[in-house]
Chains A and B, each alone.
Chain A
Amino acid sequence: MIDWGPVLLSLRVGLTALAFVFVTGTLAARAMTRRDFPGKDVVDGLLVLPLVLPPVVTGFLLLLLLGRNGPVGGFLEGSLGIRLLFTLHAAVIAAAVVAFPLMYQSAKAAFQGVDARLEDAARTLGAGEARVFVTVTLPLAWPGLVAGTVLSFARSLGEFGATVMVAGNIPGQTTTVPLAIFFAADAGDMRAAGTYALVISGLCMVLVVALNAWTRRRKPNWQRRARASRAADDRHSSVTRC
């Protein structure tokens, strides 16, 4: 039927990018919500920039950076003999860069939604910053982080503009589904292009629908039980309550 290569490659690139983006996005959001420093707004703007720039512009900037004559690419090639352009790594970098702001923004919103007083309470009870983060902040911010994860994964699956500029069209290595669609259409193979388009659309649709369903149905244990026991308490007399 169709060559599943691009689909598998897209999943591989997407998941790898997601791993980076989840960690860096969460940590960056944590750092930005916790302290103020001069130039904070500028830093925030830079972190969000790939979200508002046309992807091909992001790709162009990455090309300048990672190319042989660029600051990063030149160093990597000169000292370590590593060429980033036109490799799977470049595809992952492109996907990660465009997906990062989505994770970062979601995580920021999630952390800001956690009551600071709960974190303060944890501190007065003897918890260090790491413990506060893991036992209080993270569990309460979890739904927002999950949403960010799904959004950034979907975004990296569909990434084209930046990918085509720094990774190019190399079947089996960088030809992800969006690139396969583009080049198939370019060659007049509308059937292949259409099939790939259906596959990726279906995948993204499933992800978003699943996220919505999970968010809606999943009430944290404590809220669900609160409802149940309030109903039960209503049947008790008020004397037993203080």
Chain B
Amino acid sequence: MGAATVRSVIPRLSLPRIRVSLPILILLAVAAAGCRDRAAKEERPRAVLTVSAAASLREAMTELEASFEAANAGVDVRTNFGASGALRQQIEQGAPVDVFVSAAEAPMDALQKAGLIDPRTRRVAAGNELVLVVPAAGASPVRAFADLARPEVRRIALGAPASVPAGDYAEQVLRALGIAEAVRARIVYAQNVRQVLGYVESGNVDAGVVYRTDAAVSRRVRVAAAAPPGTHRPITYPVAVVARTAEPELARAYAAHLLGPAGREVLRRRGFRVE
């Protein structure tokens, strides 16, 4: 098929320029489609691994994704970050996830109860610390969690407790300190810890509660205080292989990578607590 054939098919176009350029454009499009096909063939991976991880693990998991892919040629790891509650729901709704790393026990418990994860693969990957952050710029009167009850503190950002574990832990601290009801009206609930961080960075809230590892990521907030010991249940990050995974071998290998020396080193460097 050549330009001549195409030209004979569209004899009546009045503008001579169209008659020449249209067949050329069609040929280019076909050629380009052919090129794309070839490139795709070269790049198609041996396997795709989907990992759902809590938002607070973003930097650490991204590093681990790269190191795992480097060590396993042909494997494409796709990490999906979000609030643990939302990720749990996605798995419940049948999303094709292979490995789940949660920021609290509760979502993992729920999935285990529903038989959606392989209980033999469940381990604790890391721990974390809960801190109070304030905008780095400007002087803040907040020096401790108890200061949240002071009148100058007008807005506090927390993760929504029902879906964000960090928010649930924060609520535990407030209740333990006896100020939960006093500050209730000042709280704005965010969808995940990164959003809490964003609110504090912008200065539109006076303080927020996030993990120490999150605070380390941002230069525009500073840590004002750590949660007093005993005010909340221990923060642990359980990891497990999803029962319905299409790649059980690879999933287990990835979990081992996270729990092994390479993973622990990355997590420790990023500020997580590892045994």
Contacts and interface: CB of A to CB of B under 8 A. Distances in A.
Direct A–B contact present (CB less than 8 angstroms): yes
Interface of A: 67-69, 83, 85-86, 168-174, 183, 186-189
Contact of B189 (A67, A68, A169, A189): A169
12 contacts: A67-B203, A69-B202, A86-B155, A86-B205, A168-B188, A168-B199, A170-B185, A170-B189, A172-B185, A183-B162, A186-B86, A188-B163
A83 B154 contact: yes
B88 A168 contact: no
Given A186-B83, A189-B162, A168 B203 contact: no
Contacts of B187: 170
Contacts of A86: 155, 188, 204-205
Interface in B168-188: 185, 187-188
A191 to B, nearest CB: 13
B167 to A, nearest CB: 10
A180 B44 CA distance: 42
B189 A168 contact: yes
Given A170-B188, A183-B162, A186-B163, 11 more contacts: A67-B203, A69-B203, A86-B155, A168-B188, A168-B190, A169-B190, A172-B185, A183-B160, A183-B163, A186-B162, A188-B92
A69 B190 CA distance: 20
Nearest to A170: B188
B162 A187 contact: yes
Given A83-B154, A168-B190, A172-B185, A68 B88 contact: no
B155 A187 contact: no
A68 B202 contact: yes
A170 B160 CA distance: 10
Contact of B204 (A68, A183, A188): A68
Nearest to A174: B188
Contacts of A189: 162
Interface string B188-227: 1111000000010011110000000000000000000000
A83 B203 CA distance: 11
A186 B107 CA distance: 13
A186 B155 contact: no
B155 A183 contact: no
A85 B204 contact: yes
B185 A186 contact: no
B89 interface: yes
B175 to A, nearest CB: 17
B271 interface: no
A186 B204 contact: no
B188 A187 contact: no
A17 B185 CA distance: 23
B85 interface: yes
B190 A188 contact: no
